[in-house]
Amino acid sequence: MDERLQRSLEFSNYRLTIANQKNNIKNQVLDKLIVYFNSGQFIADPITLAYIKTLSEFNKEAIVLDSLRNPIKITNLKEFLEKLLTVHNESLNNYYSEFQKINRARNVKKLLNLEDYE
């Protein structure tokens, strides 16, 4: 096979692997952003954080719709906000570190951590 064609195929495979790895990490982060609180399921995204922060400035408790559109009574908004912030920050820190690993990988073996097994 022509050397240029071989390099082109390797690069294409590398780019496809990077895209797959980034999508996998994004899906993992979305899963880690789920917070269970007072029998409700919430997503610790910026919109929810801002909403709960605003509510907590005016009230100690409130009824909030969870991600499944169920009304959930939150009796301690400050505690709930802290939980959301913790989960959000941990998830984003993990996302950042994994994203940096992908960006530093210069070939498919490094990208898939296969060099550790050789």
Report pLDDT digits (tens) over 3-23. 777 777 777 777 788 888 888
Domain boundaries along the sequence of the chain: 35-110
> DSSP character for 75?
S
- Which residue do the tokens 């982060």 mark? 29
> pTM of this prediction?
0.75
- Per-residue model confidence as pLDDT tens digits over 38-59: 999 999 999 999 999 999 999 9
Alpha carbons within 13 A on the beta-carbon side of 9: 6
Average pLDDT value for the chain:
86
